[in-house]
């Protein structure tokens, strides 16, 4: 039986592979089969998580967006002085 943790690991692995390939080659030059090979997953696993390349791209952008905001929040939380918070943003 596949656990939710394993399912998340597969999904994250696909996103990790896609992120690397999108950055290195660009979105248009990266094919689904290449992502599947790089992620080391079965085609069925890919399509279980992402019904299309567009759905994968949306998840990729959402994850980068979430990570970016988490990074900003961490930098702001580390500062007490409002001026230092502003500097942390810049």
pLDDT tens for the chain, 90 residues long, are 667 777 889 999 999 999 999 999 999 999 999 999 999 999 999 999 999 999 999 999 999 999 999 999 998 899 999 898 888 888
Q: What is the CATH number of the domain that holds 76?
A: 1.10.357.10
Domain that holds residue 26: 4-89
Distance CA(28)–CA(30), nearest Å, equals 6
**Euclidean distance between the first and final Cα of the chain, in Å?**
47
Could you give the number of structural domains in the chain? 1
pLDDT at 2: 63
Give the pTM: 0.79
Q: For residue 80, give the 3-state DSSP assignment.
A: coil
């Amino acid at each position: 039986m596949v656990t939710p943790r394993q399912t998340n690991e597969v999904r994250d692995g696909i996103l990790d592979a896609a992120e690397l390939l999108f950055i290195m080659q660009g979105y248009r030059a990266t094919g689904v089969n290449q992502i599947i090979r790089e992620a080391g997953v079965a085609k069925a696993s890919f399509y279980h998580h992402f019904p299309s390349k567009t759905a994968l791209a949306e998840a990729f952008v959402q994850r980068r967006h979430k990570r970016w905001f988490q990074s900003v929040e961490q930098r702001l939380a580390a500062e007490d002085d409002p001026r230092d918070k502003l500097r942390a943003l810049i």
